[in-house]
Structures are given as structure tokens and as C-alpha cells.
Chains A and B, each alone.
Chain A
């Protein structure tokens, strides 16, 4: 394919990236940010898959079988820890306005500049080869496409150089928009997410082509593969300690997916909303899964096709479509690989350049005395230029590395070497967010020791392999010290170099971390930061607690901020803060300590926390806080937060209590009313017979000449009504007795059947008088019951009288007695008017009568039923009615029967 076509297509693609980036920024200015989206976030994490994934995985698969997959399984496992770990890191980052991984570590350990610079340098050392790898991939893929066999390149005709420059311009434009490095790089993230899609699609298409176009599906490939000898060893993981290697790779990738500078950039710093993590937890692993589906088929397929040709396995994904004359597909694959490489370069460069400019370049510049005294307006521009320069610097370094140094080293393992390098930060970071006892010295020791071992066990061997230094060091150890062999330290043999390096570096790293932390004392700043990091959920917003003490003047502070952030912006920021926290600012007087802390934080977003520290202390006079004071302040703010929570809880409880009170009050008032009504009704019930008694008696008294018959009638009525009155009063008194608990049960053992029989005989006559039939059903034997005989009799009498009262002529009343072992059950069934369902419970209520005096009273109501209920319940029994209107009623009660 002609060079021109490829170049033009690539340029067009880059232009497309430009447009997407511009569009994203344009949208963001309108307020409709497109990166504020969980899917975009998850896709941006896909920058983990670089040209190494695209080309290198296939290569590794041909030599190692499925071992390459460990790199992607690790992140999948890590995703399950996104919530606890990554979210915590994101929270801390946002709260402290952290803008890089070096900044994170340095902030945690007391905002120390040394830590920041050490981490930055190591990041550059560890990651630069990785960037170079991408450039190499572009070069190689380009060469294959153009069928260029030349192995050396003239500098000026090297297309890769031009690509690099183009990329540098892209990154500079979209990566250095604002001085504040914590601002989101809308355009970049959008472009990266887009590239994740492109490389995925391209790879999938290539995969489908190979699997279904060249071969006949997965099975076919494996079938053909099994016929080739070399393959058989690939079907399983061979080699001693293959497990260890696999495990080590998983661990490595778990760490790398969070702490590679590019991953930290997109995963933490560019994160817009915490909630996006929710989708990322499964979307990202899914992405990894899908992009790897066709790696094996392509690898095996390529090997089958090219078994007798010398085609580099790394390039199969491109070589295959070319071999089968599919120019369009090849182009697509190339673009896919191109996008994989460029996305990595973009993000990694931004991350590295931020670190380099903030932690390496700026501190040096700012500590120049002459500079400190002449802080002026152009600082913002200076900072931006430093950033841009760093970007260029890194890219040029990568290019040089690629061109001149890289081919001395085996590229295949560069990725893993980078991973191992970045893993050295893991103890400091993870320890930093969970262990308050970790100190600055511990972190420094950890990182330096870790990196030293890393360098010794991984970089030295590479250099030795390339014969830059003698390789006797590999075989005999340095200065002939056997147990210091770089690839078999302390005699640990049999592991691949990565596993070996990982083990030893982590071993020494962690030991140094723990030992140095335990044996060193942290300064107040460290203690404070430790608290605020580990307990981020409590402190959430560290603005609330302030540990700065000293003298500072507003004008100084203002001018400092203005230089970096511009007049307008710094004024707004400070005034908003003051307004939020109700601090009054006097523009010409001393600054409130909280404002000073805040300013430092804002500045940290621009130049990194360590530089910010330096700047702020240059315009203020700080007093050293003792450890005790720090603790006191932290404690106070913690208490405040606790208090707040308590207050809120109490107020909720108060509301609840008030509601309950209102309810209870309502109940009481209702009860009161009901009681009044009850009394009222009872007195009415008393007054009625009294009225007739009085009136009739008066009549008899005033009319001595009354006819005998009439006089008898009247006097008879008086007697009757007096009785009625008496009964009523007794009933009420009885009820009162039950209600107030004065009624005592007089328990005797008696034969219940006898009681029933007696009552039956008495009521038989009464019933016959009224032409009602009375039937009795009872068990044959006797029923010994331990209860109050009189009270039970009263219950039976009440129920029977009610039944008789309301059963019409020629109907039957049934009495049914049953022995239910643990209790006796008595039912009285009448043929009266029945009781509506909604009244079934109410009729036993003594209040019921009172409430519904004016409505038609259903049969059987009266205090009698209330008394029955009390008696039955005093015996621990139950009483209820089953009835329907017009269908009679069945009253049943049970009395527990405790036979010995």
C-alpha cells in the first residue's frame, strides 16, 4: 500500500480526534459536558489496552498460550475493589485537589517535595520505555503496511517523528488549557474514550475475519492447531512455577490498573462523578473480556498460516488481512492499532508532564531566590509553558529511546517491567489510605528500596543482555557474589524474571515501609494528612478543619493567588469560601487561617501541593504546630461533625416523639369522649326506668280512687322497672369490677356438664313459654373444670337470655358443648336477626353501646356481652361470634382446661 494513503488516513484520523476533542470542550462550555457520563468514564479506562494489547498479546499468546490473559484478569478482579479502594482515592483526590499520582503520595506524606520529586522521576523512568513501545508499534505497523523492509530510518523521512510531533501538538492544545491541573481535560478524555471504541471495533473485525473468514470458527482453528507440534505446549500452562508466574501477573495488573500514571489520570483525576464507578465496575472488565476474545484465534491462526514464514507474531493481526489481500481491512486494523498507541501516549504524556512540571521543574524555578522576589503576572504563562515544554520533552525522550535505545532491549517484557515499576508505589498508596501510622520516611524508604530492587532485577539484566555492560553479572553476580545475581537473588531460582523481581522488590519494599514507618516520628503535617486521608469519610471536606497557624496578610495572599489564577478567579474563589464559612475578610488586614489553608489548596491544584506549600510559606509567617495541637484541632473538628450528626438524629427523634405524643393525645381525648358518652348513656339508661317509676308512683299516690286493675298495673310496672334499674346498676358495677381488676376468680373444680344441664333445664321452660325449641349437645362423660362456677354461669345466662330474647317463635336455639382436650368450647346458636360483619368485634365492646345509641342496636348488645368477654378472658379463654345478617348468630367461648 502506498505510503501516502496511509499517512493521509492517519492524519485524517488524528484530525477526527481533534474534532472530537474540540466538540467535547465546546459542549462543556455550554454546560453539557459529554464526559460527565458513566459510559465515557468506563471507556476511558480502556486506555489500559495499548498497542501492547493490540499487537503484543498475540505475540505472547504464540509463545505462552493463555498466560497473557492474566494482565486482563487482574483488573477484572480489581474492579470488585473499585468501591472501597478506588472510590476512597477519588474522594481524597477531589477533596485535596490532587492532580497527579506523585501529588497524591506527596500530599499524603506531609506535602513533602522530596517525595513528590522522587515519585515523579521514577514514574518517568518506569513509563518512558512503555511510551516508546507505542511509538515502535506505530513504526512497525506502518512499515508492514507499506511493505517497507528498511530497518533504519532517515530522521527526516521518519513518519513516526511526524506523528510524534503531531501528537505533541494535540496534547499541548487540549492538555494545557488551564493553569489549574485539576480541571478536567474534556477534549482529551472524549478523544480517549472514542479511541477505546475504535480499537475495540477494529480488533473485533480483524478477529471475526480470521476466525470466520480464514478459518471456520473457533473449533477449526484449534483443530488445525492441534496438528502442529509447537502448539501442544500452549494448551496448558507449562513450566515450573507457571502458577507463580500467572499469579504474579494477576497481582501486577491489579496494581497497575490503578497506579499506572495514565490509569490514575483517567480513573481518578479525570473522574467527574463518583457514581460513574458503578458502571465502570463491570463495564471495564467487560471491555477487557471482549477485546481479548479473538487474541488466541488470531495468534493460532497466524501461526498456522505463517508457520513456514518468518513473520513476527506480534504483527499477525495486521499481517493476516494483508496476506489475504484485504487492503481496507488492513487499513482498519492499522488505524485500530494506531488509536491504541495514540491513546496511551496522550494520557501517559499528560500525566507525566504534570508531574514533571509541578514537581521537578517548578520547585527548582521557584526556589531561585530572584524568582521568589519578583512574582509577577506572567507566572500563569510561565507555568503553562513549563507544562508544554514537559510534554514535548517527554515525547522527544520517548522518541529517542525508541530510535536508539529500544532495540537493545527485549520489547516484549517492557510492559511488564513498567507494571513492576509502578507496583512499587502500591504499598505507599494503599498503606497511606488505610494505615495512619505510615510516615513520610516509611514511604520514601519503601519507594526508593522498591525501585532499587526493581532496577537491579529487571533493568540491569536488560542492559546486560544488550551487552552494554558485561553479562558476567548475570551469571556470576556482581563482584562474583553469587547470591546477588540479579535474576536469582538470594538463590531464588526457577521463576521468570518478572515474578522474581516482583517478589523481591515487594518484599523489601514492604519491609522498608513498615520498619521505617514504625521507627520514625511523623511531623504534624503528616499526622494531619494521615487523619484526613484515612478518615476521608469523616472529614469529607477538610476545609472544615484547619491546622494552619501564623500570620498572613490578605494583600499578600491575594497577589500570590492572582499571579497563578488571575485576578477575577482568585477573588471569586476566596470570597465564595469566606461566604460559605462566614468569615469576614478585611482586604487589608490579617488573613483568617482558614483562608490561608484554602489558598494553599487552590494553589496545589495548579502547581502541586509541595510547591504550593513553598509558595504560601514564602508570603506568610507560619507557626509550627505541635503534634498535640494538631490532634486537638482534628479532635475538635471530628467532634463537630459528630455533634452535627447527633443533632440531626435528635431532631428526627424529636419529631417522631412529637408525632407519637399527638397520637396518644388524640387517643386519650377520644377515650375521654367515649368515657363521657358511656357514662352519659348509662345515666340515660338509669334515668329511663327512674322516670316511669317516679311518674307511675306519683300517679298512684295522687289518685287514691284509681281502679284496682289499673293501680295494680301501675304498681306492677313500678316493681318491674325497679328491678330493671337494680339489674342495670349491678351490671355496671360488675363491669367496673372487672375493668378495675377488683373481680377475683373464685376457682373451684366442678363438673361443667352439670352446670350446663342445670341451666338447660331452667331455660327449657322459659323457651317453651316463648314457643322456642332448645337443644343441647354435649359430650357423654363429665367435664372437670377448674374455674369460677358463678361467673361461668353468668356467661351462659347472658348468652342464653340474649338468644331467647331475639329468637322468633318456632325456631331453635342450640347449645353445643365440646371437649377440645386443652380447652372446652361452648357455642350458643340462635336464629335471630344476625349481626353484620363489621360489628362482630364491636359488640363485645362496652363502649359500643354508648357510641351507637342512636342507631339500631343489633341483637345481643348490652353490657352483658362486655361482661361475658371480661369473664372469659379472665379465665384465659376466648369469645367470639360468627354471624351474618338474617342468618342468626353463633356465639362461642373457650375456657382452657388444665387437666393434671
Chain B
């Protein structure tokens, strides 16, 4: 269970890295606008919120408690 959580965490961070970096980034690094707001800005804002949601899910998942139990054994 511990390893599983660790792997999940690392995968999550990699995904987040991908989200915010080259090459996905460059897709949005263009001069297009939604409303008047550059698409890059919107992309970053949205991705950030998505990242937050992932973080909330990953943190509030039950496995942490299990790990606690393992630690106490």
C-alpha cells in the first residue's frame, strides 16, 4: 500500500509537469484569445485548477490512514 501511494504521487507529479511544460505548453503559447484573454493565460488557470483537484483527491484518499496503521504496527 505504501509503495502504491508513492507511485501514485510520483506519477501525479510527472503528469503535472507535463501539463505545465513543453510540449503541451507550446500548443497554447499562441496569440489566440477567448473573449479578450489570451489562451495561454486561460490554459494555465484551468490547468492549475485541475492540478488542485487532483491534489485534493490524492490527499483526501483513504490510503493515508492505512499507511498510518502500517506505521504503528
Contacts and interface: CB of A to CB of B under 8 A. Distances in A.
Q: Determine whether A and B are in direct contact in the complex, meaning some CB atoms lie less than 8 angstroms apart.
A: yes
A218 B45 CA distance: 13
Contacts of B55: 76, 79-80, 281-282, 285
A219 B9 contact: no
The 4 closest A-B pairs by CB, nearest first: A222-B36, A235-B38, A281-B59, A282-B55
A81 B9 contact: yes
B6 A84 contact: yes
A720 interface: no
Contacts of B30: 236
Given A76-B52, A80-B55, A296 B36 contact: no
B72 to A, nearest CB: 10
A537 B71 contact: yes
A232 B7 CA distance: 42
A84 B10 contact: yes
Contacts, number: 104
Interface of A: 66, 69, 73, 76-81, 83-84, 218-220, 222-223, 225-226, 232, 235-237, 242-243, 246-247, 250, 275, 278-279, 281-282, 285-286, 289, 296, 537, 540, 645, 648
B1 interface: no
Interface of B: 2, 5-6, 9-10, 12-13, 16-17, 20-22, 25-26, 29-31, 33, 35-38, 40-41, 44, 48-49, 51-52, 54-56, 58-60, 64, 68, 71, 73
6 contacts: A219-B37, A222-B35, A235-B33, A243-B25, A246-B21, A278-B60
Best-buried of A80, A237, A648 by chain B (most CB within 10 Å): A80
A237 B27 CA distance: 12
B41 A66 contact: yes
B38 A69 contact: no
Contacts of A246: 21, 25
Contact of B20 (A73, A218, A285): A73
Contacts of B22: 243, 247
A286 B59 contact: no
A80 B13 contact: yes
Nearest to A540: B71
Nearest to A250: B20
A223 B33 CA distance: 10
Nearest to A221: B36
Contact of B51 (A77, A218, A540): A77
Contacts of A281: 55, 58-59
Contacts of B48: 73, 76, 285, 289
Contacts of B2: 537
B40 A237 contact: yes
A84 B9 contact: yes
Contact of A289 (B6, B9, B25, B52): B52
Given A80-B58, A537-B2, 18 more contacts: A66-B41, A76-B48, A80-B12, A83-B64, A218-B35, A222-B38, A232-B31, A236-B40, A243-B21, A243-B25, A278-B64, A281-B55, A281-B58, A282-B55, A285-B52, A289-B49, A540-B71, A648-B73
B13 A81 contact: yes
Given A222-B37, A282-B52, A285-B51, A80 B31 contact: no
Contacts of B71: 537, 540
B34 to A, nearest CB: 10
Nearest to B23: A243
A279 B52 contact: no
Contacts of B64: 83, 275, 278
Q: Which of A79, A243, A289 has the most CB of B within 10 A?
A: A79
Contacts of B73: 645, 648
Contacts of A275: 64, 68
Contacts of A250: 17, 20-21
A236 B25 CA distance: 11
Given A80-B9, A83-B5, A222-B37, A282 B59 contact: yes
B44 A66 contact: yes
B36 A66 contact: no
B41 A296 contact: yes
Contacts of B31: 232, 235-236
B38 A236 contact: yes
Contacts of B9: 80-81, 83-84
A720 B64 CA distance: 77
B26 to A, nearest CB: 7
A236 B36 contact: no
